[in-house]
Chain A
C-alpha cells in the first residue's frame, strides 16, 4: 500500500517546528527553530515575542522540512497543524500558514490538539497500538487520558493547579538552576538522597485521578527558607532527589490507579517531562510490577515538535476526521471541543 505523507506544523509556544511523517510513524524530516535562547533573557516565554519569531521563520521551517524529506507539497496526503491549546497569537501563525498551504494545494486539513500530538509521538518510529492509557506530563500539562482506535480521547483526570513541569521549573529557580529546570533537576536528583526532605504527595491516598503540585513547590520553598534561617546546609542534589521522588510517587500511583480502573494494559508516557530519566525508570518499574506495557516517545519527540503533530494528523486521517479551513485557534481547548471541530 502506498505510504501516506503528512506535513505537521507546530507553533503553540516557543518552538517553530515542521515535519513530514509517513503513515503516522516514519519521520522523513523534522525541522525546529527553538526560541529558548531568546526567551531566556526574560526568564520565561513572552507571548508577543514568540509570535513575532514564529512569523519570521514559519515558511522557511516548512520549506526546509519539505526539502529534507525530498517531497513537494503536491506529493503530500494532508496537512496537520496545532490549533490549541497554547498561546493564541503563536498558534494563529502556524494555523494561518497551514491554511495557506492547504488552500493552494487542496490537501485535506487536520487541526490537531496539542496534547493529542504529544500522545501520538509515542507512535513515531514505534508501534501505535490503541486503546491506551496516556500520562501526559509537560510544562503546561499533567493529564491522564485514554486514546481509542479512532484517535478519540477521554480525559480521566489532571492537575488542579500547577503542571508537573511547571513545578520543576519553579523548584529549579528556587535552587538557582538554569531555565528550563527539568533536565537539571533530573540530573542532580540521580546523585542525591530522595528521603532527605519530607515532602507532601497530594491525592496519594485518594482514588481520585487528580494531581496537585502547587503545595509541593511551596513545601520546597518553605524547607529552603527554614534551612537558610537555621544556617543548615542542604545539598542541592538532595533537594532535587526528594522533590523528584515526591513527583514520581504521585505520577506512578495515579497511573497505576488509572490502569486498574480502565483495565488498560498499554500505557503511553508523553510530554516534555517524559524525557526525564527518573520518570522513565519509575514507570518502567511500575510496568514490571503490574505487568503493564509501557511506551515512551523517543526523547527527541518529547518536546514540542512538528512530527508529533503530523503523526496525530495521520491518525485523524485514518479515522476519517477532517477539519475545515474555518477552524479557529484556541488558548484553551478540551478534548470534547476539539473532537467536535472535525467531522
Chain B
C-alpha cells in the first residue's frame, strides 16, 4: 500500500512515499521561497524513484500547519486536488504533531516531553506539548498560539511536575534573527537539522487522524490558528460602534 506525504507549512518542504509501513523514498528541501516551484517536481521524482504511479496511491497525508499561511496552502491545495482526482482518502495532520514524531528518534531512552514551537512573530509561537506514551505521543497541551514566554513556563512546569525525571526536547524553527527569543532548554533542536525525519513524522502522525473521504476532502483547510488582521480590526470597529448599544 503506497502512501504519499507532504508538508509545506514551514521552511522545510517535506515529501515522502511510504510503502509497506516503510519510507521507500523521501525528499526534503529548505530553499527559501522555493516550495512553490519544488513541490510538484519533488512529488513526481519520489513517485518515479519508488516506481509508483499516482494511481497506485492509497492515501495522501498532508501537513495542515500551523505555520506560514501562503506556504501551508500550497501542499493543502495540491493534496486536496490529488486526493479528489484519485478518489482516495486524505489525512490532514498537524505539522506540530509531525515535528514531534520526527523528533522521537533523537531521544535515547527514558520518559520524555516534546515541545515543537513554530515562530509566529511578535513574541509568539505556535506550539503544543506532548509526552512519550508507549509507541505514541500523548497531548499534554493542545496546539495553540501563545507568547514564547508562556510556552517556556508551561514546559518548565511540566518537567517540575514530573520531579525533573523527564527529558524535555524542544524542536523549533526560529530564524537566526530571532535567536535571542528561543527558550533555553537543555535539548533544543532546529527543525532544519532534523528535516530528513519530517516525512516519517508526517506518516506517524497520520496514524492518529481520521481519513477524509470525498465531500469531506473539500472541507480540509489549513490550521491558521490566527485570524486575518483586517477581520479583527473590522470586528473591533463594529464592537466599538455597537458595543455599548449606542453609536459612537
Contact of B82 among A51, A52, A58, A100 (CB under 8 A): A100
List, sorted by A's number, 17 A–B pairs whose CB atoms are closer than 8 Å. A42-B230, A46-B230, A48-B228, A49-B231, A56-B221, A59-B80, A92-B36, A92-B77, A96-B40, A99-B81, A100-B78, A100-B80, A102-B40, A104-B85, A105-B85, A325-B40, A326-B40
- Whether B218 and A59, one on each chain, are in contact in the complex, defined by CB atoms closer than 8 angstroms, is yes
How many angstroms between the C-alpha atoms of A41 and B73 in the bound complex? Answer: 24
Contact of B73 among A42, A93, A327 (CB under 8 A): A93
- Count B interface residues, CB 8 Å: 35
- Whether B81 and A101, one on each chain, are in contact in the complex, defined by CB atoms closer than 8 angstroms, is yes
Q: Chain B interface mostly helix, strand, loop or mixed?
A: helix
How many angstroms between the C-alpha atoms of A101 and B83 in the bound complex? Answer: 9
- When distances are taken between beta carbons in the complex, the residues of chain B under 8 Å from A92 are 36, 70, 73-74, 77
Q: Does A302 reach chain B (CB closer than 8 Å)?
A: no
Flag A74-106 by CB within 8 Å of B: 1 or 0 each. Answer: 000000000000001100111111111111110
Flag B12-34 by CB within 8 Å of A: 1 or 0 each. Answer: 00000000000000000000000
A-B pairs, 4 with minimum CB distance: A100-B81, A325-B40, A96-B77, A100-B78
- Nearest to B8 among chain A residues (CB) is A96
Shortest distance from the beta carbon of B88 to any chain A beta carbon, whole Å: 10
- When distances are taken between beta carbons in the complex, the residues of chain B under 8 Å from A98 are 81
- Whether B38 and A55, one on each chain, are in contact in the complex, defined by CB atoms closer than 8 angstroms, is no
Flag B162-191 by CB within 8 Å of A: 1 or 0 each. Answer: 000000000000000000000000000000
- When distances are taken between beta carbons in the complex, the residues of chain B under 8 Å from A51 are 69-70, 73
Shortest distance from the beta carbon of A277 to any chain B beta carbon, whole Å: 34
- Nearest to B73 among chain A residues (CB) is A55
Q: Does B76 reach chain A (CB closer than 8 Å)?
A: yes
B29-57 CB contacts (< 8 Å) to partner A = 36-41, 43-44, 54-55
- Whether A63 and B74, one on each chain, are in contact in the complex, defined by CB atoms closer than 8 angstroms, is no
Q: Does A173 reach chain B (CB closer than 8 Å)?
A: no
How many angstroms between the C-alpha atoms of A59 and B231 in the bound complex? Answer: 25
- When distances are taken between beta carbons in the complex, the residues of chain A under 8 Å from B38 are 326
- Nearest to A72 among chain B residues (CB) is B85
Q: Does B92 reach chain A (CB closer than 8 Å)?
A: no
Q: Does A60 reach chain B (CB closer than 8 Å)?
A: yes
How many angstroms between the C-alpha atoms of A51 and B38 in the bound complex? Answer: 20
Q: Please give 20 more A-B residue pairs, beta carbons under 8 A apart, in addition to A100-B78, A100-B85, A101-B85.
A: A46-B231, A52-B228, A55-B80, A58-B80, A59-B81, A60-B218, A62-B84, A63-B218, A73-B85, A92-B36, A93-B77, A96-B36, A96-B74, A98-B81, A99-B39, A100-B81, A103-B54, A104-B55, A327-B37, A328-B36
Which of A98, A103, A104 has the largest number of chain B CB atoms within 10 A? A104
How many angstroms between the C-alpha atoms of A93 and B73 in the bound complex? Answer: 6
- When distances are taken between beta carbons in the complex, the residues of chain B under 8 Å from A101 are 81-82, 85
Shortest distance from the beta carbon of B10 to any chain A beta carbon, whole Å: 16
